[in-house]
């Protein structure tokens, strides 16, 4: 390895560090001793996967997330729904008794939440929908009679709520769409969908719906526009395509999942592009039974393969990445049958495991701080003499200049050598005498506790710093650079 003043560049692979060559020397021959600081320069694939909750006796299915990070999950086999806090505490918010006044909830599959944390859930077998307030007040907002004017609701499916508090409910078997105002006025806004399966809303209150044959945009004033029919997205291979899921981004692009485990993007101008098919990422990770589709604020699209037990991300540039598979968190908590996904405002992705009876959170790793921000942090520390023992033979100005050269070169090397899927670690490691003819220069009487506190603060502030204390030296060390071993 390259030994340059105890600076080591390594790559985090599967939880272990692989040492990689680099050259990062200061022009003055000085280096810094710090008790284990790491700078993480990561690729877009770097993510953290965690199991939020594991259920017992409940097979979760529907999924929604609010602005505070609370999750809402349905249990169709147990006829109930839960709220799960960010720290994993689950509370049942409704059960099969429904509103407790004779209106039962049976086989709830779909769930939604509004900005006020009111929750909405549909009963597939009870042909109804309920609203649950944060205080726990439960109200049935629609039943099998639909709008009460002969337009019935049969097999209540997907549900969504807009910014004005209007609730939209699909009737899967009745092939229609209902809007329910905050005042409780129910209107059928569309019928004839041939099995209503997909529902999404945009910020303007337009509804996007699809049945097996067609997809439509329904404006708040009721104007309806057909977006696409199934023949337009048919690839001509195998059985004719049918449409089953829909999503929309902030730019008005519509994303539709079709039955052959493909998804297409349709621009506002009507251009159709396939964004993923059953080959998945074409790296051996396939996609089968595309059951859920979602899009985040940055325009990244997420699709779940129910039978391949995985989720893919498709960036606006078309880069496809599998972000979770059946191995789940990689530590024994698996993902089996993925029927639903949700994305929050920060870009965290949530996926339900119906057969594994759990929910996972997939978070982008913290972005790497810029080299300028890293330098600023340590410059302030050196100027305040918080980092002690650095180049004690140098005047303060020279000491700072030498350190700037050293760190800037190392960070630049880390950024230059970054590769996808790797998290580069620039470690300014603690130095100790190795007892093999490389004596360390000590600075007597210095205290490293303040340095460790500062590093901990940087970890919180910058995200990619790790305050990993190595075996502490008996005394703080003075820095010097060793040449590469040959």
Could you give the C-alpha distances from 222 to 113, 163, 172, 380, 397, in angstroms and in order? 23, 17, 20, 60, 70
Helix (H, G, I), strand (E, B) or coil at 3: coil
What is the Cα Rg of the chain in Å?
Answer: 28
Cα(71)–Cα(56) distance, integer angstroms: 17
Band of residue 22 on the pLDDT scale cut at 50, 70, 90: very low
- Output the pLDDT for position 36: 28
pTM above 0.85, yes or no: no
DSSP one-letter code for 422: -
Q: CB-based burial of residue 342 (10 Å sphere; 0-12 exposed, 13-18 middle, 19+ buried)? A: buried
* Residue partners of 453: CB distance under 8 A and separation at least 6: none
On the question of pLDDT at 141 being above 70, the answer is yes
- The model's pLDDT over 175-204, given as tens digits with 9 standing for 90+, comes to 999 999 999 999 999 999 999 999 999 999
**265-310 pLDDT, tens digit each:** 999 999 999 999 999 999 999 999 999 999 999 999 999 999 999 9
Quickly list DSSP for 105-122: --SEEEEEE-TT--EEEE
Say if residue 390's pLDDT is above 50. no
The per-residue pLDDT for 376 is 59
The number of C-alpha atoms within 13 Å of 175 and in the hemisphere containing its C-beta is: 10
Mean pLDDT, rounded, for 374-385: 52
Residue 478's pLDDT band (cuts 50, 70, 90): very low
Instruction: Return the pLDDT at 466.
Output: 33
List the strands of the sheet with 63-65, edge to edge: 63-65, 71-75, 80-84, 90-94
421: tokens are 């899927």
CB of 362 within 8 A of CB of 324?
yes
Residue 413 parent element (H or E):
helix 396-416
Percent of the chain with pLDDT over 90: 61
Return the sign of the alpha-carbon dihedral for residues 234, 239, 242, 244.
negative
């Amino acid at each position: 390895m390259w030994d340059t003043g105890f600076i080591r560049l390594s790559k985090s692979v599967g939880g272990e560090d692989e040492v990689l060559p680099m050259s990062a020397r200061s022009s003055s021959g000085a280096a810094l001793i710090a008790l284990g600081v790491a700078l993480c320069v990561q690729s877009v694939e770097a993510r953290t996967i965690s199991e939020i909750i594991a259920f017992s006796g409940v097979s979760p299915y529907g999924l929604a997330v609010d602005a505070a990070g609370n999750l809402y999950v349905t249990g169709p086999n147990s006829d109930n729904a839960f709220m799960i806090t960010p720290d994993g505490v689950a509370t049942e918010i409704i059960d099969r008794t429904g509103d407790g006044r004779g209106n039962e909830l049976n086989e709830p599959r779909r769930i939604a939440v509004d900005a006020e944390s009111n929750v909405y859930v549909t009963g597939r077998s009870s042909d109804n929908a309920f609203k649950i307030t944060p205080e726990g007040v439960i109200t049935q907002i629609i039943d099998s009679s639909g709008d009460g004017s002969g337009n019935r609701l049969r097999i209540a499916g997907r549900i969504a709520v807009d910014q004005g508090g209007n609730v939209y409910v699909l009737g899967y078997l009745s092939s229609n769409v209902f809007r329910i105002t905050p005042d409780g006025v129910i209107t059928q806004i569309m019928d004839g969908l041939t099995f209503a399966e997909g529902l999404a809303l945009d910020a303007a209150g337009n509804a996007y719906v699809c049945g097996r044959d067609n997809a439509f945009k329904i404006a708040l004033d009721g104007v309806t526009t057909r977006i696409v029919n199934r023949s337009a997205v048919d690839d001509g291979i195998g059985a004719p395509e049918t449409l089953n899921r829909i999503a929309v981004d902030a730019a008005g692009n519509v994303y539709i999942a079709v039955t052959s485990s493909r998804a297409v993007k349709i621009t506002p101008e009507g251009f159709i592009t396939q964004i993923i098919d059953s080959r998945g990422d074409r790296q051996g990770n396939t996609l089968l039974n595309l059951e859920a589709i979602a899009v985040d604020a940055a325009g990244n699209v997420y699709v779940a393969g129910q039978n391949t037990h995985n989720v893919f991300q498709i960036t606006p540039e078309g880069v496809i990445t599998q972000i979770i598979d059946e191995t789940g968190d990689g530590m024994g908590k698996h993902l089996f049958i993925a029927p639903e996904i949700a994305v929050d405002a920060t870009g965290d992705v949530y996926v339900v495991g119906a057969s594994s009876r759990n929910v996972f959170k997939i978070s982008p790793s913290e972005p790497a701080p810029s080299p300028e921000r890293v330098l600023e942090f340590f410059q302030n520390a050196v100027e305040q003499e918080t980092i002690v023992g650095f180049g004690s033979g140098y005047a303060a100005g020279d000491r700072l200049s030498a350190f700037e050269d050293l760190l800037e070169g190392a960070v630049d090397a880390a950024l230059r050598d970054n590769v996808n899927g790797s998290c580069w670690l620039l470690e300014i490691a603690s130095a100790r005498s190795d007892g093999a003819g490389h004596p360390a220069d000590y600075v007597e009487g210095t205290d490293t506790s303040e340095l460790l506190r500062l590093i901990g603060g940087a970890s919180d502030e910058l995200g990619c710093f790790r305050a990993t204390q190595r075996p502490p030296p008996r005394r703080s060390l003075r820095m010097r650079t060793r040449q590469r071993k040959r």
